[in-house]
Every structure is written in structure tokens, then in C-alpha cells.
A and B are shown apart, each in its own frame.
Chain A
Amino acid sequence: MSANNKKWDWEIQSRTSWMGSRLDELWEYRHLLVGLVRRDFLLNYQQTVLGPFWIFFQPIMTLVTYVLVFDKLVGIPTGTVPPVLFYLAGIVLWNLFSDGFNGTSATYRENAHIFSKVYFPRLIMPLSQLSTHFMRFLFQMILLLLVIAYYLVFEDVSISVGPWLLALPFVILLTSMLALSLGLLFSVITAKYRDLANLVGLSIRLLMFLTPVIYSIDYIPEKVRWIVLLNPLTPLFELFRLSLLGEGTVTIPQLIYSVLFTLFLFAGSMLIFNKQGDKLIDVV
């Protein structure tokens, strides 16, 4: 049999593919993904005083601070929604985005030693990071639902949730995708130009103020509202509150913009991550 028409299982060449790993290859490594998530949980809660309660402790402390500062001191109006619910909903969704973004953006910097010694689909690492933060988000969602239940039962607050509740999974999916896309993009950029890593922390902090986490879009003056509306996260946060707390302002065009933005960014950063990934090992 001549070498030319022989069937090979795999081929390595200089051309890197835009598609990266095939889906079946990712599936082959699913155990690694689960193992990495398990590792992250074990590491985070081993040798700690509060253990897994940190998952709840962090949003609760943030909530207390926000209520004290933004509600009691500054007095940002939250509509008919009690401030505690308003802020907690914002914090929980924001944590998903910022932790997911932050976690995945360090992919190449923190795993360079592993990437340079063994091959597996590189996408496994950011996916495991995102999964870890997604699971924490689910726990925090339970906290949020408990607090909502408390307000419904004991505080006599009426929350009218309608069919918008069905949009909840969609909001969570889009937020995760945005976090992953930005994370993948920045993992490549910061691996190449290290100092830009500082940019990630800074942009997350600044982006929070352009996202309706501590305020509602209704209370932004008309003149500057377009700045906040440029942010694809804005409709997601409003929709999140609308579906859970029954109050939020979101229009269909805004949502379409958000979806398209996310899809384009996702496709683009996936391509860049796959294409640049192999070259980066020479650099990091």
C-alpha cells in the first residue's frame, strides 16, 4: 500500500485549523472536564474555615455592602422591588459573568506548564472553569430563590412573575456564553501580551458600572442611556430581574442585539482561541 492513499487516523501539519478540536474529541475528554471541576471545588474548600459556605458568604457580604452604600447612603431607587432582592439578583448574575470571564481569561497563563507537556483539547480548560463558576452560580441561585420565597411569605411583597420566567434559562445561557467568549479572547491576548492581564480586572470593574447591577435602566437619564444600552449585558440583567422579580425594562430589539452580539463574539473568539492556541505554546 502506498503511503499516499493510505488512511491515517490523525495528521499534524503546520496549518492550524479554525475549527480546533472536533466535538467527538471534546467528548472523549469529558472525564477530564469533570475531574477539573472536582479539583477546583476540592481546592477551594479544603483547609478553609467556612468550607462550602463561602459560596453563600461572598454574595451575602456583597449584598450587605450594596444595601448599606447604594440604598441607605446614596439612595438609588429600586422601584417596587425591595432593595435586598434587587441587589441580590444583580449580584448573583454579575458573579456568573465576572467569575466566568475572569476564570477563563487566565487559561493560557495559568496552564502553560500543562499545555507544554501534554496534549488534550485546549478548550477543556476554559470549559471546566466556566462549569465550576456555573455550579457556584446555581448554588447562589438557590440562595436567591430562598430569599425571594422569604419575602413572599413573611414580608408580604407581591411579585408578579409571568411568562417571562421562561426566559430565565435563556438569560443564563447568554450570560455564560458572553463570559466564555470574552474569556477565550482575553486568554489569547493576555498570553501574548502579559501586561494586558491587568486590563481584565479593570474592565470587569468598570463594566459593572455600565451594567444594571446596582441600578435599574429606568433611572438612567435619557441622554446617557444609550451608553448603557450599548452593553449587550444590559438587556440580560433587565430580563433576569423581569423574569424573577417582575420588574425590568427590556425591548425585543435590545434582546436581538444582545443575542447577535453574543453569537458573533462567541464564534469569533472560538476561532481565535483554536487558531492561536497552538502557536501560543511557543510563546508562553
Chain B
Amino acid sequence: MAETVIEVENLSKLYRLGTVGTGSFRQDVQRWWTTAILRKEDPFFTLSGAEDASESKQFLWALQNISFEVKQGEALGIIGSNGSGKSTLLKIISRIVRPTSGHVRGNGKVSSLLEVGTGFHQELSGRENIYLSGYILGMRKDEVKTKFDEIVAFSGIERFIDTPVKRYSSGMYVRLAFAVAAHLEPDILIVDEVLAVGDADFQKKCLGKMRDVSQSEGRTILFVSHSMQAVNNLCDKALWLNKGKLKEYGEVTSIVGKYITGVQQYKLKQSWSKPEEAPGNEHVRIKSVELVPHLLDVNAPLDIRTPLTVKFELWNMTDDVLLSAGLHLFTYGGECIFDAPSPATQCDKGVVKGECTVPGNFLNDGSYYFSLIILKNTSVSLFYYEECLSFDLEDYRENIQWYGKWWGAVRPKLPFRLEQTELVLQ
């Protein structure tokens, strides 16, 4: 049986929020006095009163009582929504920040790759930066020297190796930076979501390199990603963090599956029974909004093939008004994908119902949300309900041997033909 190389036990991390301004010096002194001199409990936070502390606005538990083990040669994917503590966990294992309580024990040399190009200096040439960045990541001089040509070849920027990196394009910069990192030879490699940058071709190369490292050379990898496809492909085990707590830990496919369905239940339907409680104003109030996926199996995840229907109902409070609605679809980053208008309809007091379908094979994988706007006379905004529905679309690929993040906000299935028109006979 493989040896345990990392053991995490009851790991917690508390962050103090807000600015460190006036009073914090006094607080520091006070805290030091009570804990170090009087040997009393910390006046500002206690582990036993974790509930109290997490409710107070001053403090945030980034991680709470996390325990797990990683065996040698294992690739562990760490998944969770934004702010779930993934990065904090990696930072603690990388020895960048200290945990508030608990401990991590491990065997072997650890290298962490939390950012591409750490230690790069704009003014220096590519050559100098390879050395410097190698040293910062923990390589020795002879190590960098022997791998230098390999690194340059991997990055594919041989011609510019003596040019200051400030003149590089961002793509070249990332390629060079990752090339250095990819040639690290630690026993444990910690990778945060750094593959989101760089072009698709290079991403593929990096994922391939990482897979080689874990499978053939027996190295342990901790990998954080939002791309379930990448996690599924690269990792054996997965760890699901939710708001700083360990939600699930186990085989990658089952965890990823649970994660996808868990996230999906988020805001697919909202409804109100009384107009007074519903969001809106004196003109209109929202009765319900719902996202109905066209799926045969209700428990199947939403993926990019799934057609989605948005259904909504509103209470109209005014007689004889020309109403129309608009559905805005945004990516999680806040970029608007489309603004779909409804036809305008003459309405009286009562309930108005709307429905709009987004076809399958149209959106790319990712997280999205809908906002609903209600208009009068097709120009005056009556009510704008932001983020009324949110959902995730999973990736789906057939016969594609590539696992990097697919580009673009939309991935429409367009009529596309590719055929051989001539044959060269030899």
C-alpha cells in the first residue's frame, strides 16, 4: 500500500476582516497581554465558540476542521465554489500562511505553483528569469542548468530568450513561466488554477505534462480547478470544500458528480405566494421565476446540450399598460451574453406569464445567471430583477481528445463541413 505523504488534521484558519487601522495596534497589545502574559483565553477569538466567531462580522473562518490524507502518487483534486477555502488550504500546505489551529504533516519536498511567473522581473531577459524563477521555486543552480534547454524548448520562445520579458506578449510570458514550473521535480506538487491563462494548445501541453508527472513518476499532486473536466481527468481523489468545511472526500467521479448536482440546485426556481413579499415595486411584482431544463432524467446534470426554458409570472398592478420583458444572460464574471426581448403585450391588472427557451448546443460550459427586466412601452424600465436564476452548465465532449477549457462564452453547434476534396496519389 502506498505511503501517506500528507496528513492534514483538524486544520482551521481564521481571518480577521476589515482594515488594520487605528486601534489594531492597541488590540495587538491587548491580545498579547492576555494570552502571553496572563495566559488567559484569547479575547478576540476562541475555537470553542466557533459559532459565535463565524457570525461576527469581524472574523471569517476560511477553513474549519479539515482532515484528510494523501497517499504517494495520488492526484487529489480540490473543488468548491468561490470563497470555499480552496486557495487558503493550498497556501497552508505550501507554508505560505499559518493555520489558526490544527496541523499538516508531510514527507518530501513540496513545490507550489499558485501563480504563473512568481518572481519574474519585467526588466530581465528570459534567460535570467528562468534562473531566478527556478531558484524561487526551490531549484538548485545545477538543476536549472541541466534543464535549461528543455525549459526553453517547452516554452517555444527560443528566439526571444535574451529579450527582456517586458517586451514579451502575455502568451509568451505565461508559456515561459509555466515551462519553468513544469520542470520542477518535487515529491509533492501543488497547483492552483493557473491553467486558466495561456492559449488552448499550451494548456493541453501543461495538463499532459502534469498527468505524466503523477502517473509515471509517482509524484503526488494537489490540484485546484473550476473545470470539472480537468479534475475528472487528472485526479484520482477529490475533496469538496464548502464554505471552509469539508463536504465530501472520496473517489473523483462520485465527488464531482455530487458537486455538480449540489451546485445545480442553486436558484433554479423562486416563487412567492403573496405580492407583498415578492420582489418588485408598485408597478409589477415577481410571482415566480423558474429554469426548466429539457432533460429526460431529472437528476442528470445540466450540460451544454441541454435546452433551457425560463418561465416567469408577474403580478401586474396597473391597468391598460403595454408590457414587455427582457431576459439578460450573464456569465459568472458579469459579462452579458445576450439580451433577449419579448414581444410587447397590452395588459391589465392580474398575472402575466412569460416563457423563453434557450436552445441546447448553444452556450459554453460555465456558470451563468439570468436577470429579468420588465419594461413599459418597450422603453421605460419598471423593474429590474438581477440574478433571478443562476445555474452551471457542465461540459460535454464527444470524440474530442482534448480536456482544456473551451474558449468563448458561447459554443454554438453551427453547420460546419470538412471534407477531403483531393487525394495526392503517391
Interface residues in B94-147 by Cβ distance below 8 A to A read 94-108, 110, 112, 114-115, 118-119, 121, 123-124, 128, 131-132, 135-141
Give how many B residues have a beta carbon under 8 Å from the other chain's beta carbons.
Answer: 43
User: Which stretch in A39-47, A85-93, A197-205, A219-227 binds the other chain?
Assistant: A39-47
What CA separation (Å) do A115 and B131 show in the bound complex?
A: 18
Q: Which of A55-63, A160-168, A276-284 contacts B (4 or more CB under 8 A)?
A: A276-284
In the assembled complex, the Cα of A193 lies from the Cα of B22 at a distance in Å of: 9
A153: CB under 8 A from chain B? Answer: no
Contact string, A33-73, partner B, CB cutoff 8 A, digits 1/0? 01110110011001100000000000000000000000000
B388 adjacent to chain A (CB < 8 Å):
no
Complex: A278 Cα to B99 Cα, angstroms: 10
A118: CB under 8 A from chain B?
A: yes
Q: How many Å from the CB of B219 to the closest CB on chain A? A: 15
Q: Tell me the complex Cα distance, A39–B125, Å.
A: 11
User: B128, A42: Cβ atoms under 8 Å?
Assistant: yes
Say yes or no for B65: interface residue by CB 8 A criterion. Answer: no
Is A154 interfacial (CB 8 A cutoff)?
Answer: no
Chain A nearest Cβ from B300, distance in angstroms: 39
**Chain A residues with Cβ under 8 A from B92's Cβ?**
12
Name the contact of A43 in the complex, choosing from B4, B16, B97, B121 (C-beta under 8 A). Answer: B121
Contacts of B128 in A (CB 8 A): 38-39, 42
B115 touches A16 (CB 8 A): no
Contact indicator B119/A118 (Cβ below 8 Å):
yes
Are B96 and A117 in contact, CB atoms less than 8 angstroms apart? yes
With both beta carbons as reference points, the residue of chain A lying nearest to B12 in the complex is identified as: A14
Find chain B residues with CB under 8 A from A80 CB.
Answer: none
Query: Nearest CB to that of B164 among chain A residues?
Result: A46
How distant is B358 from chain A, measured CB to nearest CB, in Å? 39
Interface residues of A in 241-284 (CB under 8 A from B): 278-279, 281-283
A32 to B135, CA, bound (A): 5
Residue contact B132 to A36, C-beta cutoff 8 Å = yes
Q: In the bound complex, do residue B25 and residue A193 qualify as a contact, i.e. CB atoms below 8 Å apart?
A: yes
Pairwise interchain contact A283-B20, C-beta atoms closer than 8 A: yes
Contact call B105/A10, Cβ cutoff below 8 A = yes
The answer to whether B140 and A281 have CB atoms under 8 Å apart is no
A192 at the interface (CB under 8 A from B): yes
Cα A34 to Cα B141 in complex, Å, equals 10
Closest-CB distance, A108 to chain B (whole angstroms): 13
How far does the Cβ of B24 sit from chain A's closest Cβ, in whole Å? 8
CB pair B97 A42 closer than 8 Å = no
In the complex, what's the smallest C-beta–C-beta distance from A25 to chain B, in angstroms?
A: 11
Say yes or no: is B174 at the interface (Cβ < 8 Å to chain A).
Answer: no
Q: Does B251 contact A (CB under 8 A)?
A: no
In the bound complex, do residue B118 and residue A35 qualify as a contact, i.e. CB atoms below 8 Å apart? no
CB distance from B330 to the nearest CB of A (A): 30
Minimum C-beta distance from B86 to chain A (A): 15
Select which of A8, A14, A28, A114 is within 8 A of B101 by beta carbon.
Answer: A14
A11 and B95 CA atoms in complex are apart in Å by 9
Is the Cβ of B138 less than 8 Å from the Cβ of A120?
yes
**A residues less than 8 Å from B95 (CB atoms):** 12, 119
A116 at the interface (CB under 8 A from B): yes
Is A29 an interface residue, CB under 8 A from the partner? Answer: yes
State the CA gap A6–B4 with chains docked (Å).
10
B290 within 8 A of A: no
Hey, which chain A residues are within 8 Å of B135, CB to CB? Answer: 29, 31-32, 35-36
Q: Are B98 and A279 in contact (CB under 8 A)?
A: yes
Contact of B99 among A12, A29, A192 (CB under 8 A): A12
Shortest 6 CB-CB distances between A and B: which pairs? Answer: A32-B135, A13-B103, A8-B105, A119-B95, A12-B104, A278-B98
Decide: A116 and B98 in contact? CB cutoff 8 A.
no
